[in-house]
Amino acid sequence: MGHTTGGDDAWARLHAYLVDPMKRPQVLLGSALAAFWSLIEPSLDPPPKSSPAPSDNLQTPMNLVMPLNFSYVAYRAELGHMLFDAADEILAGLNNVGTVHFARFDVIGGNLCMFSIFDGDFEGYIRDFIGAIGGAFDGIMKFVKDPAPTPCGQNVDQFVAWVRGHDSLQMPELASDVTPGLRALQRQTLVQLYRHPNAQMGVYRGYPGYSVAQIRDGLEIGW
Partner 1 sequence: MVVAGPSLGLLSEVQGNILQAYGTHYRAVNHLILAVADPTAARRALARMVDGDRSTPDVTSGERPPREAGFRWCLNIGFTYPGLMALGVPRTSLDSFPPEFVEGMNARAARLGDVGESAPVNWVSGLARPEQVHLIVTVHGWCRSDVESITQQVLGAERGRAFRLVSSEPLDGDALFDERTGLRQVHFGYADGISQPRFVGIHDPEDYEDDLPLLPIGVVLLGYPSATPHVSWQVPSPDVLGRNGAFNAFRVLGQDVPGFEAFLAATTVSAGSVGAAGSVGAAPDVDVELAAAKVCGRWRNGAPLSLAPTRAEADAFDLTRLNDFDYIDDDPDGLKCPIGAHIRRNNPRGAHIVQRSANRTRALIRRGVPYGPVWDPSDPNSFALPRGLLGNFICGSLAAQFEAVQYDWINMGFQDPRITGTNDPMVGANYPGTSCFSWPRDGAQTVVMRGFTRFVFTRGGAYTFLPSIPAIRWIAARGA
Among 65, 127, 143, 163, binds partner 1 (CB under 8 A): 127
Is residue 214 near partner 1 by the rule CB under 8 A? Answer: yes
- For residues 81 and 83, give the distance between their C-alpha atoms in angstroms, rounded to a whole number: 5
Examine residue 151 and say whether the peptide bond preceding it is cis (omega within 30 degrees of 0): yes
- Between 57 and 189, whose beta carbon lies closer to partner 1? 57
Residue of 61, 25, 79 whose CA lies nearest to 169: 61
From CA 193, how far away is CA 124, in angstroms rounded? 26
Query: Which window, 35-43, 80-88, 109-117, 125-133, contacts partner 1 (CB under 8 A)?
Result: 125-133
Strands 169-170 and 199-200: parallel
Of 73 and 174, nearer to partner 1 (C-beta) is 174
Nearer to partner 1, 138 or 143 (CB): 138
What DSSP line would sit under 74-124, residue for residue? HHHHHHHHHHHHTHHHHHHHHHHH--EEEEEEEEETTEEEEEEEE-S-HHH
Stretch that binds partner 1, among 21-29, 38-46, 63-71, 152-160 (CB under 8 A): 152-160
Q: Work out how close the CB of 95 gets to partner 1 at its nearest, in angstroms, rounded to a whole number.
A: 8
Q: Radius of gyration over alpha carbons of the chain, in Å?
A: 20
Q: Phi then psi for 171, rounded to 5 degrees? A: -65, 150
User: Is the Cβ of residue 25 or residue 47 nearer to partner 1 in the bound state?
Assistant: 47
Binding track, positions 183-212, relative to partner 1; x by CB under 8 A: --------------------------x-x-
Under rule CB under 8 A, residue 150 binds partner 1 = no
Beta bridge partners of 114: 64, 105
Which residues lie near partner 1 (CB under 8 A)?
Answer: 50-52, 54-55, 57, 95-99, 119-121, 123-124, 127-128, 130-132, 134-135, 151, 153-158, 160-161, 209, 211, 213-214, 216-218, 223
